[in-house]
Amino acid sequence: MKYSILVVLLLLLLPPVACGLRPRPVLTCTPGSTVDIPAGWFLMGEDEGQPSHQPQRRVYLDAYAMDCTEVTNADFAAFVAETGYEAIGWERQPAEEASEEPVTGVLWRDADTHCRWMGKRLPTEAEWERAARGTEGHRYPWGSAWDSDLANTVESGPGHVLPVGSYPDGASPDGVLDMAGNAAEWVADTFDAAYYSYAPDRNPPGPDVETDHVLRGGSWASPREQAQTFFRDSSHSTRPNWRVGFRCARSMEGVD
């Protein structure tokens, strides 16, 4: 018995990495704040499942910053109030209790315009995936095993969108929140199911086609398969979708 107690004490004293656990990032995440993502290589895609995210490959990205959370109703309301911008799917001031929920029902062009008004831009698909899975190729932002307590998806049960940052323990390795579930997210790229077979391995900009735009992360109405960090979806963005929002990014050397 004394040896068992000794082992437990040693495990408590060891750092998380030594115990085979991922250390949790120190979160200083609030709506509108950003997380710096250092330059380097990461694993993008997966060699299983849908052909559109195959093959897995190593991709290099320059340093950039990613919004810590999805853009909120309050953030978008400020944009509309100051600019007079008309978003077809977002026609009124949100209720106070919904102010910290991610703005949804915005078209791709609305998201793109808002980010540029902020002095930022929509993230590329590669930047989004790197912020979601880190450099180790995580299947979910927090690791390889599914946990319904760490994301707002069908399996979690709320059945509606929640305020941003509601699942802090589901943070990505860099401390980015809400990369799985809650609201699916627009990225800058247009969608080509075959893109991964010919995309460059350094700062891939997305395919040179004018079709659908890519959606990432899944929503509150998505099954866990669509919350995987490598899962790709798309939309024509011709009508508002109340499951889709966005977040912004910026290049470290300046705005694109």
| Residue of 223, 218, 210, 231 whose CA lies nearest to 51 | 231
Per-residue pLDDT tens over the stretch 135-171: 989 999 999 999 999 999 999 889 999 999 999 999 9
Cβ atoms of residues 111 and 246 within 8 Å: yes
Residue 78, Cβ density class (10 Å: 0-12 exposed, 13-18 middle, ≥19 buried): middle
β-bridge pairing 64-67 and 34-37: antiparallel
| Residue of 40, 42, 49 whose CA lies nearest to 232 | 49
Q: Cis check for the bond before 55: say yes or no (omega within 30 of 0).
A: yes
Kindly report the CATH number that applies to the domain delimited by 36-251. 3.90.1580.10
Find tokens 């889709």 and name the residue.
Answer: 244
Cβ atoms of residues 37 and 64 within 8 Å: yes
- What is the C-alpha end-to-end distance of the chain, expressed in Å? 62
Find tokens 């953030």 and name the residue.
Answer: 75
Angle at 118 between CA 125 and CA 244, to 5 degrees: 45
Which H, E and C letters describe the chain, residue by residue?
CHHHHHHHHHHHHCCCCCCCCCCCCCCCCCCCCEEEECCEEEEECCCCCCHHHCCCEEEEECCEEEECCCCEHHHHHHHHHHHCCCECCECCCCCHHHCCCECCCCCHHHHHHHHHHCCCECCCHHHHHHHHHCCCCCCECCECCCCHHHCECCCCCCCCCCCCCCCHHHCCCCCCCCCCECCEEEEEEECCCCHHHCCCCECCCCCCCCCCEEEECCCCCCCHHHHCCCCCEEECCCCCCCCEEECCEEECCECC
pLDDT (tens, 9 = 90+) of the chain, 256 residues, equals 444 444 333 434 444 433 334 444 455 687 778 999 999 999 999 999 999 999 999 999 999 999 999 999 999 999 999 999 998 877 665 667 789 999 999 999 999 999 999 999 999 999 999 999 999 899 999 999 999 999 999 998 899 999 999 999 999 999 999 999 999 999 999 999 999 999 999 999 999 987 899 999 999 999 999 999 999 999 987 888 899 999 999 999 744 4
- Whether this prediction's pTM lies above 0.75 is answered by yes
Interatomic CA distance for residues 112 and 82, integer angstroms: 16
Q: Return the domain boundaries, the chain.
A: 36-251
Interatomic CA distance for residues 60 and 251, integer angstroms: 14
